[in-house]
Structure 1
Amino acid sequence: MSKRQLFRLEYPLRCSAALLYEFVSTSNGLGEWFADKVDDKDGVFSFNWNGTIEKAEVVSQEVDKFIRFRWLHAAKEEYFEFRIEKTEVSNQTILVISDFAEKNEVKDQSQLWDYQIKDMVHRLGA
């Protein structure tokens, strides 16, 4: 089995950090763009895609800055994270996504994130 590797993607967005954080850290926000339905209970989020449910726990977060999840079925050191940064010069909001994938699957995973972020941008009006 090949080792999964960390990769990062950056998306410039035209919205406030507070609004973006709401979209990446709450069941209502994530249900708008990330999965068909999202529920959370005691820091464990259940993501439903066409009847398939995957669960992830929140391992760390800082309001309006970042939230890190770990899939319950994944290795302990793996996670996916939404981090909100601001550029120094233009003060533009940047969403930085960190995720893990097999080396030969990084391109496909990146394209999937691109598709999902386009949906989020549409819903945000950003």
Structure 2
Amino acid sequence: MEDKVKFEMEFVVHASPQLLYQYISTPSGLSEWFADNVNSRGEFFTFIWDGSEEKAKLLSKKSGERIKFRWMVDEEDDLSCYFEIRIQVDEITKDVSIIITDYAEEDEIDEAKMLWENQISDLKQVLGSA
């Protein structure tokens, strides 16, 4: 198994941090833009796309600020990678951004970034800030 490479992306989103947090931290919020359906049981979340399921473990969350998951397949492979969705507010301009931290295999980074761009585009549409 080759090592995955960490990457970060930033997206400016016109929405309040409190509203955004609901969309990144709850199963109902995540199922509005991230997956077709999301279920959670304790610290485990199940993401469903087109009938296929991926399970992730909630590693940490800070109310109003960030949420971090690890895909169970990565946990089983003993990989230390994760994906994090962080809300950042610029002190001066008060612009709200979402910072995505994720990992992908080197030859899949462009594809992974494109996937996040599509996901965040869906989120912006749901928020009405597209």
TM-score range relative to shorter protein: over 0.9
TM superposition score normalised by structure 2: 0.93
Paired positions, count: 126
Runs (5+) with no aligned partner, structure 1: none
Which residue in the other structure is 2:121 paired with?
118
Does residue 58 of structure 2 align to residue 55 of structure 1? no
Matches within 5 A, 1:93-104: 93-104=96-107
Name the structure 2 match of 1:13: 13
Offset from partner CA, 1:34-55 (integer Å, 9 cap, x none): 1111101102110011111111
SS at match of 1:73: helix
User: For the residues of structure 1 that align with 2:61 and 2:32, how far apart are their CA atoms?
Assistant: 20
Alignment RMSD: 0.9
Kindly provide the CA deviation profile for residues 86-122 of structure 1, in whole angstroms up to 9, marking residues without a partner as x. 1122011110000000111111110111011101100
The percent identity for this pair of structures is 37
* Within-5 A mapping of 1:19-38: 19-38=19-38
Unpaired stretches in structure 2, ≥5 consecutive residues? none
Structure 1 stretch displaced more, 73-82 or 107-116:
73-82
The alignment partner of 1:32 has SS state of helix
The equivalent of 1:71 in structure 2 is 71
Runs of 4+ in 1 over 6 A off after TM superposition: none
Question: In 1, Cα distance between the equivalents of 2:122 and 2:66?
Answer: 20
